[in-house]
Amino acid sequence: MSAFDYAVIMPKMSMTMEEGELLAVRVNVGDSVKSGDVLFDVATDKIDMEVESPADGVVKAIMGQIGSTMLVGAPVLMLETATQVMSFDFNTPAPEVEAVVEVPAPVAVAPVVVAPVVSLESVKAVPKARVIARERGIDLASITPTGPDNTVTFEDISNPQVAGAHDARKAANRKMVAASIEKTRTIPQITLSRFSSHTTASLDQGSAHLVATWARILRRNTHLNLSTITEDLRTHVGVALIMESKYGLAMPVFKDPDLMPVAQLVEWIKSTRQQSRAGKVPLEMLSGATASIFDLSDTKISAAIPLLLPSHTTALSVGAPNAAFGQSEISLTVDLRYCDSLEAANFLDQLVATL
Amino acid sequence: MSDRKLTMSEALREAMAIALEERPEVFILGEDIGIYGGAFGVTGDLYHRFGKERVRDTPISELGIVGTAVGAALSGMRPIVEIQFSDFTAQAMDQIVNQAAKIHFMVGGGLHVPLVLRAASGSGTGAAGQHSQSLEGWFANVPGLKVVMPSSPYEAKGLLLAAIDDPNPVIFMEHKLLYKVAGTEDVPEGAYRIPLGVSRVVREGKDLTVVATGIMVSRVLAAAAELDKEGIALTLIDPRTISPLDMDPVYESLEKTGRLMVVQEAPEHGGFINEVIAKVVTSQSMGHLIAPVARLAGMNVPIPYAPQLEKAAVPQVDDIIKKAREVVANWR
């Protein structure tokens, strides 16, 4: 049987854990270990835990420094094992050392799958789904939950047609977005871009600052705060934030976001993102926007040309900070029937200055 | 015999008449059950048919009535006690709980207490907090008592005859709103018996298993007819006797539906229906659940006098429809 390398990583032991301290390593290079043997000890601000070997094997290398603080997902030691270990990433980025893991040669016998250690808080599932997962050796974390509160339902695990239905809805959603963009293509518009050196603690916080700042600019410039379809001035300021949804993209509208404490807006955006991922954006948040914002700051995309949505006067996008010089590119598209290009440049400058 | 759509009062009266004819040791006692024919008219003309010795009017003392019945039952009689409102069993609790329920066991099985206690139960008549309770859960919590909750005229007649046959005390909780309503099934004229401790599968459907007692059985049936139109099919199980409780049909049904909803009129907190949930989640049946268990029960309030509030305090057909729809839609 062929042997291959498997990196044992700093595990994520709670929902909030981002890093852990390597307290001790209980094995030496060259040691043979059995599945379940303790390999190393980890301390977090909440819990101290022994990390066990996921499989039988030999310790090939120890990368972790005792006493050092390591990010979740960082490799602590390398195990040479004949068992194909299912890697389970707890929704964190895969460790970069994954590249050194040899591709196992095809083997005659079916690979033994070591059941990943799934903490109860990480996956919610109805009892029947758990029974099926156990019987068929399915990793519940690999199933996309569609039930209330992100729970894996019976249908999610048992009926592949669900995925088909989701795909159909996604396709319909995509079509609808494309059709609406098509309507705004003939509008005279201009897109301006500039770099900004602002930094943010999290995606939600960054989005909140953008949404609130842009809403403030719209509030001061009422001629921009109207529906380009009816030409009625709006009594509120609504900014749509483009976000991931269970069905592709969603554009929930945050009304008067500049009139509430930032912390409250951050929470609102955060909970809306969760609802959106579950495909449940509240109905009252689906209309009433003057502008849209496409926040790509947590991706690797440097810039996107923002597209006007029907009835909107402005659209903004923010790219990821550039790795070399740390600045993000902000782009603004305006409807030239309501705003001239130099005015737009001024608004973009105001936005960057505030951020 | 076809076309015998009786009300529950008529069906119960027939059962008692049969028992009075079959067994000389059977007699009925209670307040206003003789000449007056019963507070809800259940005993009707039995006084005139069987005489005052066998259909006995008593003074207004529930403690005395049940005490008399326990003594008579111990000495070879088969008394049927009628309590005008089940709320008044509180007056007779010592006789029911400490005497009737215990004697057979405390003398090593040497004595029997073949006593049936019929009581008018439940809300919906505008009789307010002291005359509207659903107290079956109290009795289900006392070993030695069997507790029956008939849901229709047909059921009531067969179950009452079985209760009268039973060698030890049976509490028979009759919902007042069912007394005057004609059933949908014919009630055979002669004697038939429905064994205590056997649940009835009222209807079968693939989407949701509903366990409901007493009046809630007919409300769930009405809800099920509406839900059928939406393509939601309910299985309805009527335990008939909440003690002893036959869970097998529930377990079997859950293998097919994976969803459980329980419905009772009595208040939710500490209610009998929670026992059904407990039995499911502490059994192998748990692994069949594809949805959290849904529970519909009365509010934890004394039944209000105002008619709108009285209705709002206990599950109605619309509540059942809404809840069932929610469970089936959310949990696929």
Regarding whether B34 and B100 lie in a shared domain, the answer is yes
Q: How many CB pairs under 8 A join A and B?
A: 34
pLDDT for residue A181 is more than 70: yes
Same-domain status, B171 and B236: no
pLDDT value, residue A166: 67
Catalytic residue among B131, B136, B275, B288: B131
Q: Given this model, what pLDDT does residue B294 score? A: 97
The arithmetic mean of pLDDT across residues B295-310, rounded, is 97
Over residues A324-330, the mean pLDDT reads 87
Domain presence at residue B166: yes
Q: What residues in A contact B289, CB-CB < 8 Å?
A: 126-128
pLDDT of residue A108: 42
pLDDT of residue A252: 92
Domain boundary among B179, B210, B225: B179
Q: Domain check: are B165 and B217 in the same one?
A: no
Does B291 reach chain A within 8 Å, measured CB to CB? yes
- Residues B141, B217 within the same domain: no
Which residue did the predictor score with more confidence, A16 or A333? A333
User: Catalytic residue at B14?
Assistant: no
B159 and B284 assigned to the same domain? no
The reply to whether B136 falls in a domain is: yes
What whole-number distance in Å separates Cα of residue A277 and Cα of residue B195? 53
B175 with B242, same domain?
A: no
pLDDT at A279 > cutoff 80: no
d(CA B77, CA B71): 9
Q: Hunting for tokens 């729809």 — which residue is that?
A: B325
Distances (CA, A) of B30 to B51, B87, B185, B195: 14, 14, 29, 26
For B107-150, how does the pLDDT look when each residue is reduced to its tens digit (9 = 90+)?
A: 999 999 999 999 999 999 999 999 999 999 999 999 999 999 99
Do B164 and B217 fall within a single domain?
Answer: no
pLDDT confidence of residue A148: 85
Q: pTM for the full model?
A: 0.58
Domain range for B45: 8-179
Considering the domain A186-354 in this protein, what is its CATH number? 3.30.559.10
Mean pLDDT, residues B302-315: 96
Query: Hey, is the C-beta of B290 within 8 angstroms of any chain A C-beta?
Result: yes
Q: What is the 3-class SS of chain B, one letter each residue?
A: CCCCCCEHHHHHHHHHHHHHHHCCCEEEEECCCCCCCCCCCCCCCHHHHHCCCCEEECCCCHHHHHHHHHHHHHCCCEEEEEECCHHHHHHHHHHHHHHHCCHHHHCCCCCCCCCEEEEEECCCCCCCCCCCCCCHHHHHCCCCCEEECCCCHHHHHHHHHHHHHCCCCEEEEEEHHHHCCECCCCCCCCCCCCCCCCCEEEECCCCEEEEECCHHHHHHHHHHHHHHHCCCCEEEEECCEEECCCCHHHHHHHHHHCCEEEEEEEECCCCCHHHHHHHHHCCHHHHHCCCCCEEEEECCCCCCCCHHHHHHCCCCHHHHHHHHHHHHHHCC
* Distance, C-alpha B199 to centroid of its chain: 12
Confidence of residue A137 (pLDDT cuts 50, 70, 90): confident
Asked whether residue B164 falls in the same domain as residue B55, the answer is yes
Average pLDDT over residues B268-295: 95
The pLDDT, as a whole number, for residue A197 is 86
Q: How far, in Å, CA of B175 to CA of B164, rounded?
A: 19
* Active-site residue flag, B25: no
Share of chain B above pLDDT 70, in %: 99
Could you tell me where in chain A the CATH 2.40.50.100 domains are found? 4-114
Across the interface, of B286, B287, B330, the residue whose CB is closest to A148 is B330
Here the CATH number for the domain that contains residue B145 is 3.40.50.970
Q: Give the highest mean pLDDT range of A99-108, A303-312, B236-245.
A: B236-245
Q: Is residue B3 part of a domain?
A: no
Question: Does residue B92 share a domain with residue B15?
Answer: yes
Closest residue in B to A126 (Cα–Cα) = B290
Which residues 213-252 of chain B have a CB within 8 Å of chain A? none
Q: For position A107, what pLDDT does the model report?
A: 39
Q: Are residues B12 and B140 in the same domain?
A: yes
Last residue of a domain, one of B122, B145, B179: B179
Q: What's the pLDDT at A91? A: 29
What pLDDT was estimated at residue A63?
A: 86
Q: What is the fold of A4-114? A: OB fold (Dihydrolipoamide Acetyltransferase, E2P) (2.40.50)
Give tens-digit pLDDT for B2-15.
589 999 999 999 99
Taking an 8 Å cut-off on Cβ atoms, the answer to whether B291 and A126 are in contact is yes
The Cα A242–Cα A239 span in angstroms is 10
Do B147 and B219 belong to one domain? no
* Interface predicted TM-score of the whole assembly (ipTM), two decimals: 0.76
> Given this model, what pLDDT does residue A111 score?
39
Same domain, B205 and B320: yes
CATH for B286: 3.40.50.920
Q: What is the pLDDT of residues A51-71, one digit of tens each?
A: 888 788 889 888 888 888 888
If one counts the domains in chain B, the total is 2
% of chain B surpassing 90 pLDDT: 98
Instruction: Give Cα A77 to chain centroid, integer Å.
Output: 28
